[in-house]
Amino acid sequence: EIVLTQSPGTLSLSPGERATLSCRASQIVSSDYLAWYQQKPGQLPRLLIYDASTRATGIPDRFSGTGSGTDFSLTISRLEPEDFAVYYCQRYGSSFPFGPGTKVDI
């Protein structure tokens, strides 16, 4: 069973700064079926990126995803106040495991 790990656990940054989050898989993610979500307290997860690098509908272009195989990254080019949240990666296919999350806080 594939296991996803994320680093760092917490990223402390200021508005306007660049955030780079990492997601590593225990085995190759076939077809780069890797998604990123944002979740704020009391809210449902919001899909940001799928296929490792494709932005979901309505997602601002300051969010970008890269990577393939076992190593993936989510970059937020310039943090806006509303971007401070927890971010999860997820592999999709026959199962849908999540990584443990990275908290981006001020």
Q: Return residues touching another protein (CB under 8 A).
A: 1, 33, 35, 37, 39, 44-45, 47, 50-51, 54, 56, 86, 88, 90, 92, 94-101
Nearest CA to 89 out of 68, 105, 106, 73 is that of 73
Distance CA 56, CA 106 (A): 25
R_g of the chain computed on alpha carbons: 13
Between 12 and 30, whose beta carbon lies closer to another protein? 30
Q: Beta partners for 71?
A: 24, 68
Between 21 and 86, whose beta carbon lies closer to another protein? 86
Nearest CA to 74 out of 15, 20, 7 is that of 20
As measured in angstroms, the least distance from the Cβ of 95 to another protein is 6
Between 10 and 15, whose beta carbon lies closer to another protein? 10
As measured in angstroms, the least distance from the Cβ of 43 to another protein is 10
